[in-house]
Amino acid sequence: MLKGRHLIEPGDFKLEEIESIMELADNIITNPKGYSLVCKGKLLASLFYEPSTRTRFSFEAAMLRLGGEIIGFDDPNNSSVSKGESLGDTIRTIECYSDIAVIRHPREGTARLVSKFAKEMPIINAGDGGHEHPTQTLTDLLTIRKYKGGCDNHVVGVCGDLLFGRTIHSLVKTLNRYQGITFVFISPKELKMPENILNQLNPDTYRETTNLDDVIGELDILYMSRVQRERFVSEEEYLRLKDYYILDKKKMKKAKTDMIVMHPLPRVNEIAIEVDDDPRAVYFKQAKCGMYVRMALIAKLLGAEENND
Amino acid sequence: MINVSKLKKGIIIDHIEAGHGFEIYKELHLNDIDDVVVLLKNIPSKKMKQKDLIKIETDLPIDMNVLGLIDPNVTINFVKNGEMYKKITLNLPKVVEGIMKCKNPRCITQHEDVKEIKFYLVNEEKKQYRCEYCDAYTTFMGEE
Average pLDDT over residues A230-251: 80
Can you tell me the distance from the alpha carbon of A85 to that of A273, in angstroms, rounded to the nearest whole number?
A: 44
**Sheet with strand A182-186: strands edge to edge:** A206-209, A182-186, A155-159, A221-224, A260-262
CB contact under 8 A, B108 and A109: yes
Higher pLDDT, B113 or A82: B113
Residue B47's pLDDT is what? 86
A254-268, A292-306, B23-37: segment of lowest average pLDDT: B23-37
Residue A279's pLDDT is what? 97
Contacts with A, B 23-82, CB within 8 Å: none
pLDDT single digits (tens) A13-47: 999 999 999 999 999 999 999 999 999 999 999 99
Choose among B122, B134, B137: nearest Cβ to A109: B134
pLDDT single digits (tens) A244-291: 789 999 999 999 999 999 999 888 889 999 999 999 999 999 999 999
Contacts with A, B 90-129, CB within 8 Å: 104, 106-114, 122
CB contact under 8 A, B122 and A196: yes
Choose among B107, B114, B130: nearest Cβ to A108: B107
pLDDT single digits (tens) B36-64: 999 999 999 888 999 999 999 988 777 77
CB contact under 8 A, B107 and A113: no
CATH code, residues A10-132+289-301: 3.40.50.1370
Q: How far apart are the first and last CA of chain A?
A: 23
Q: Where are the domains of chain B?
A: 10-89, 95-139
Which residues of chain A have a CB within 8 Å of the CB of B132? 109, 112
Residue A82's pLDDT is what? 65
Question: Which CATH fold would you assign to the domain B10-89?
Answer: Alpha-Beta Plaits (3.30.70)
For residue A232, what pLDDT band results from cuts at 50, 70 and 90?
low
Q: Nearest C-alpha of chain A: how many angstroms from B102?
A: 11
What is the DSSP code string of A92-156?
HHHHTT-SEEEEEESSBTHHHHHHTT-SSS-EEEEEETTS--HHHHHHHHHHHHHHHSSSSS-EE
Q: How far apart are the first and last CA of chain B?
A: 40
Residue B13's pLDDT is what? 92
pLDDT single digits (tens) A160-188: 999 888 789 889 999 999 999 999 999 99
**Sheet with strand B128-131: strands edge to edge:** B95-97, B118-123, B128-131, B137-139
Choose among B109, B122, B136: nearest Cβ to A199: B122
For residue A309, what pLDDT band results from cuts at 50, 70 and 90?
very low
CATH code, residues A134-287: 3.40.50.1370
Average pLDDT over residues A74-79: 76
Residue A104's pLDDT is what? 95
In angstroms, what is the C-alpha Rg of chain B? 17
Q: Is B137 an interface residue toward A (CB < 8 Å)?
A: yes
Higher pLDDT, B138 or A297: A297
Average pLDDT over residues B4-8: 79
Residue A266's pLDDT is what? 87
In this predicted structure, the answer to whether residue A58 has a pLDDT above a threshold of 60 is yes
Share of chain A above pLDDT 70, in %: 95
CB contact under 8 A, B136 and A108: yes
In this predicted structure, the answer to whether residue A242 has a pLDDT above a threshold of 80 is no
Which residues of chain A have a CB within 8 Å of the CB of B110? 107
Average pLDDT over residues A220-238: 81
For residue A81, what pLDDT band results from cuts at 50, 70 and 90?
low
Q: Where are the domains of chain A?
A: 10-132+289-301, 134-287
Q: What is the pTM of this model?
A: 0.83
pLDDT single digits (tens) B87-117: 887 878 889 887 889 999 999 999 999 988 9
Among chain B residues, the shortest Cα distance to A106 is held by B106
- What residues does A221 pair with on adjacent strands? A156, A260
Can you tell me the distance from the alpha carbon of A173 to that of A175, in angstroms, rounded to the nearest whole number?
A: 6
Do A6 and A59 contact (CB within 8 A), yes or no?
A: no
What is the DSSP code string of A166-229?
HHHHHHHHHHTTSTT-EEEEE--GGGPPPHHHHTTS-GGGEEEES-HHHHGGG-SEEEE----G
CB contact under 8 A, B107 and A107: yes
Share of chain A above pLDDT 90, in %: 77
Of the candidates B51, B103, B50, the one whose C-alpha atom is nearest the C-alpha of residue B74 is B51
**DSSP for residue A278:** S
CB contact under 8 A, A108 and B134: yes
pLDDT single digits (tens) A94-140: 999 999 999 999 999 999 999 999 999 999 999 998 889 999 999 99
Q: Is A67 an interface residue toward B (CB < 8 Å)?
A: no
CB contact under 8 A, A108 and B133: yes
Q: Do domains B10-89 and B95-139 have the same CATH topology?
A: no
Residues 6+ apart with CB under 8 A from B19: B41, B52
Which residues of chain B have a CB within 8 Å of the CB of A195? 137
Q: Is A84 an interface residue toward B (CB < 8 Å)?
A: no
Choose among B112, B135, B136: nearest Cβ to A86: B112
Neighbouring C-alpha atoms within 13 Å toward the C-beta of B38: 15
Residue B1's pLDDT is what? 65
Q: Is A140 an interface residue toward B (CB < 8 Å)?
A: no
Do B54 and B37 contact (CB within 8 A), yes or no?
A: yes
Q: Do domains A10-132+289-301 and A134-287 have the same CATH topology?
A: yes
In this predicted structure, the answer to whether residue A223 has a pLDDT above a threshold of 50 is yes
Q: Is A50 an interface residue toward B (CB < 8 Å)?
A: no
Choose among A88, A112, A199: nearest Cβ to B133: A112
Question: Which CATH fold would you assign to the domain B95-139?
Answer: SH3 type barrels. (2.30.30)
